[in-house]
Amino acid sequence: MVRLAHDPMERALSLAALGRGRTAPNPPVGAVVVRDGRIVGEGHHAAAGTAHAETIALDAAGPLARGATLYVTLEPCCHHGRTPPCTDAVIAAGIAEVRYAIGDPDPRVAGGGHRALVAAGIRVTAGESAGAAREILRGYLLRRRLGRPWVTAKFAMSLDGKTATRTGDARWISGEVSLAHAHALRDRADAVVVGIGTVLADDPRLTVRPAPGDGHQPGRIVIDTRLRLPPDAALAGPELASGTTIAFGAPDGGADTAASPARDLARAAAALEDRGLTLLGLPLDRCGRVDLRALLDALGERGCNEVLIEGGGELLAGFLALGLVDEIEACVAPIVVGGRGASTPVDGAGVDLIARAGRFDIVDTLRRDRDVWIVARPSGAPMEVTDV
């Protein structure tokens, strides 16, 4: 048993955060069982199909759960899925009180868990640390509401707004501490998204390094309208191909596979599939590129909660123009690059008037060694451009 040093809901939230990027399509949830001022059991949901946080915490508490209080970051489920209802486990364990942060918008729950516990004579309180819980569950909650994952855009730039020199050199604009944070952002994402231009220029691996102890790696998605990914690209290699999806422009308006690509795509599609890559055919937008809304809808249908966009500038411009970026994490390094031809984080057509610029609120600023990170979220309309 562990004597409480902090608020038990804070402990449950910290446990829930361990599941980010790992539990999709399920939410990341943490739970703590408290009896006589001591934590007697705790747990978090580690992956879809495995035991839920409440069950793990109750199993750890054993007989000490009877008469105890359960703190959990999300309303306990009351339906049969790949695991039995958590409400059944809570009732059977003899828990006297349940305190949860926010309700579960899953229509199979949506207050049903709360009602089942109350009907069993358990005291139930909702809303404790609700704001912090929503932050951890943001991807799950957004997908339940809009059908698409939470989108974070990440980039590093110089003081004068450059992401690379005029020759394309970009390693490394940010420092080692910032690079570690960039990999932490990958670690909590279900998928990392880049455009084919970034792949052709940098040949990235898009993996978390060093690899987490649990072996987790996010899915890798390349927006490649005309299937230009070289067969010798790192993402097409034997170590990475099985976890990489190529989103391309399907001539039939969006088949789920490359079963019927246009004749000029057939050979490239077959070669990529032979290497173990997954192909995702999507409709084209009015500019003849992969429809980004359709991409996010497809990822939402697959249960993806959070995605991280890592470039390039044209891709980010497209997401921003459509109002599909929920957060920006921008690293500003104390260097000046210069150059009319040097890259910037956002390309595309841009706006013609400042009044038409996308508006964001800065929600956090952080120093990481010599770099400054700015976290911003939309506060108004997206960029008003005529060409996305």
| Conformation bin of residue 281: beta by default, left when phi > 0, alpha when psi is -120 to 50 | beta
Closest by CA to 372, choosing from 185, 169, 151, 158, is: 158
Q: Which of 142, 91, 147, 102 is nearest to 12 (CA)?
A: 102
Cis peptide preceding 67, ω within 30 of 0: no
> Pairing mode, if any, of strands 69-74 and 30-35?
antiparallel
How many whole angstroms from its chain centre is CA 199? 21
Distance, CA of 300 to CA of 194 (rounded, Å): 17
Report the catalytic residues. 54
Cβ distance 387 to 364 under 8 Å? no
Beta carbons of 34 and 8 less than 8 angstroms apart: yes
